Amino acid sequence: MKKLIKPILFCFVLYYLLPIIGTTLYASSTKWSKSLLPSDFTLQWFQQLLTDREFIAAVGRSLLLAGVVLVTILLLMIPTIIWIHLYFPRLNRWLEKLLLLPYALPGVILVTALLRTYAETGIPMFVVLVGALFITALPIVYLSLNNQMRLINLKELVDAAETLGAPMSTIIIQVLFPNIRIGVTLVSLMIFSSVFGEYMLTNLLIGGRFQTVRIYMLRRMNENGHLASAVMVLYLLFMVGIALTTFMLTYRQKQQLSLKQTREEKQSKKKPLKEL
């Protein structure tokens, strides 16, 4: 059985890498029809893409949407989770179950309900879209930050800081935030990458009036496959960069936890010696 592990893993890696390699080759070719490999290689599609004003505008819109959603989530959720942990810890069990409901609601049904509710209210659809993305991102944000709060013993930190006379604003900025900084960064990267590449809600709620990178890519796919492949390659590089950053931050967090555990073990070993 152990001998089969490496061939199986190799098949899985090959299965995932072949489409990426094929897309990259197609984005770097002028013609590829009757041969195993492209007949000619070029970077003109990437040059044409990076000089296209519509593409730059689409990237800007995607960054704007991801930034607005991310800032809204962090500003609302971090104080809320701190408040719940300090004053209403019993709500955690119910909120963890309740916040899984967005996963059970299909996106098409959500869009239909939002259009019927807000179409004639005068509220801009961009605001409705931000709210919809906020709701869909709640499970990831709440569960991740909630685990981070438990990990740092939030209640004990706040009680210790309050006994020293520190106000709540100082506690949040100088005590809590440095301890949850890596966790907040990881959540931010996950939310930013998911919203940046979001397609369904944006297309159904706003459509061509707010053309993001994914909408631009699918439109180009019907016009020029080489350009669409170039967009996909750049988007993939962006996601790989975010994934590597997330991996590095996660590894750093694990190192900090291991150092903290070793310090606690050393302190626990020294205490009996002092008592003797």
Q: How many domains does the structure of the chain reveal?
A: 1
**Token digits for 16?**
């995932």
For 78: left if phi > 0, alpha if psi spans -120 to 50, otherwise beta; the answer is: alpha
User: Using 50, 70 and 90 to split pLDDT, how confident is the model at 269?
Assistant: low
3-state class (DSSP) for residue 186: helix
Residue 248 C-beta-side C-alpha neighbours within 13 Å: 7
- Mean pLDDT throughout 56-63? 89
Query: What is the per-residue pLDDT for 161?
Result: 82
Domain-located, residue 26: no
User: Using 50, 70 and 90 to split pLDDT, how confident is the model at 36?
Assistant: confident
Residues 177-215 pLDDT 10s: 877 887 888 888 888 888 888 888 888 888 777 888 888
3-state class (DSSP) for residue 166: coil
Paired strand residues for 41: 29
Domain-located, residue 99: yes
Other Cβ atoms less than 10 A from the Cβ of 27: the count is 22
CA 65 – CA 10 distance, rounded (Å)? 38
Domain-located, residue 244: yes
User: Using 50, 70 and 90 to split pLDDT, how confident is the model at 64?
Assistant: very high
Q: What percent of the chain has pLDDT over 90?
A: 2
- Please name which of 135, 136, 104, 132 lies closest in space to residue 206, comparing C-alpha atoms: 132
**Token digits for 196?**
């940046």
Domain-located, residue 66: yes
**Token digits for 30?**
């002028």
Domain-located, residue 114: yes
pTM over 0.85, yes/no: no
- Mean pLDDT estimate for the chain: 81
CA 99 – CA 105 distance, rounded (Å)? 11
**Token digits for 256?**
């900090």
Residues 99-148 pLDDT 10s: 888 777 777 777 888 888 887 788 888 888 898 888 888 888 888 888 88
**Token digits for 273?**
């010696």
- Mean pLDDT throughout 60-75? 90
224 backbone dihedrals φ, ψ, rounded to 5°: -150, 110
Domain-located, residue 75: yes
Domain-located, residue 9: no
CATH number at residue 262: 1.10.3720.10
Domain-located, residue 125: yes
Q: For residue 251, is pLDDT > 50?
A: yes
Q: How distant is the alpha carbon of residue 132 from its chain centre?
A: 15
Other Cβ atoms less than 10 A from the Cβ of 107: the count is 15
Domain boundaries, position 97:
51-266
User: Please, are residues 242 and 189 in contact by the beta-carbon 8 Å criterion?
Assistant: yes
Q: For residue 217, is pLDDT > 60?
A: yes
3-state DSSP of 33-88: CCCCCCCCECCHHHHHHHCCHHHHHHHHHHHHHHHHHHHHHHHHHHHHHHHHHHHC
Residues in the chain: 276
User: Using 50, 70 and 90 to split pLDDT, how confident is the model at 273?
Assistant: very low
